Structure 1
Amino acid sequence: MIKHGTIYEAIGGFPTINKLVTHFYKRVGSHPKLIPIFPADLTETARKQRLFLTQFFGGPRWYTEDRGHPMMRRRHMPFEITPERRDAWLECMDAALTEAQIEEPYRTAIFEKLTMTAHHMMNTPDK
């Protein structure tokens, strides 16, 4: 259980979010199931993810300041997000959490929140 503050503060703030996103997109950029729905240049995608995760885990509201209300499901509707792609995304995030050395109980709390979000993003059945 998280005892005080936010997940963002507990894991070390933006430097840790930055590390997590860097490790995550290194994997996404080479994952055969994810390549079709991501741009070849992940720079802007990673930038937006850093802003979103900062806000999502209790840090500054940089995503809203930069992009407006998150509306994550709507923003993801143009992309075919299947259960298989959801699982691939979560696999990449799970490995990135390990590589970024995010410790318990925060690692589990982060992964659980992102798992719920990933389920919510699905919009296409597996083919």
Structure 2
Amino acid sequence: MSSTPNSPSPAPDPSEYEGTFYAQVGGKDTFRRLAEKFYEGVAADDQFRAMYPEKDLGPAAERLQMFLEQYWGGPTTYSEQRGHPRLRMRHMPYTINSKARDTWLKHMEAAVDSLDLPPLQREVLWDYLERAAHSLVNTPDEPHSQGLRLA
């Protein structure tokens, strides 16, 4: 049975992912909970929520889940449905400065912490997410007035 790009993929054989970080942290359920918790935080943050153009955050949560599953050795559904991740290119249309990055990290850290992963697994996951967030900054911060005057 083959799946079309818009239909759900058949349930993956768990043994296919044995030994991957994806499997070690709990597979699909873990990444579903992570994405859902992250977007709960986004939905509750009116200022940050404005960065997300979709009214329904469900599709964004699903894309995040699929991306992270694939990155960590799970199903390749993300690429099958959306092509190469091209993370920087997909985020270029959005203004991402250090404030947006830090807000994203705040909501993502709450989501990661909600998983109650063992410390080493949490550290590995968090390290990647933090590096990814820093790499997506594409807009300099507004300079703050330091009270300096030019003569």
Provide the TM-score with structure 1 as the length reference: 0.91
Q: Which residue of 2 aligns with 1:28?
A: 42
Structure of higher CA gyration radius: 2
Unaligned runs of at least 5 residues, structure 2: 1-17, 143-151
How do 1:31-110 residues align onto structure 2 when only pairs under 5 Å count? 31-38=45-52, 39-110=54-125
Change (3 A) 1:115 1:33: farther
Unaligned runs of at least 5 residues, structure 1: none
Separation in 1, partners of 2:42, 2:122: 19
* CA deviation after TM superposition for structure 1 residue 31, in Å: 2.0
| SS of equivalent residue, structure 2 residue 119 | coil
Residue type matched to 1:69 in 2? Answer: H
* CA deviation after TM superposition for structure 1 residue 86, in Å: 0.5
Separation in 2, partners of 1:42, 1:62: 19
Provide the TM-score with structure 2 as the length reference: 0.77
Over 2 Å off, 4+ runs? none
Q: Considering fraction of residues, name the structure with more helix.
A: 1
Matched, 1:116 2:131: yes
| SS of equivalent residue, structure 2 residue 125 | helix
Identity of aligned residues (%): 37
Separation in 2, partners of 1:56, 1:33: 29
Residue type matched to 1:61 in 2? Answer: T
Separation in 2, partners of 1:102, 1:23: 14
Residue type matched to 2:133 in 1? Answer: A
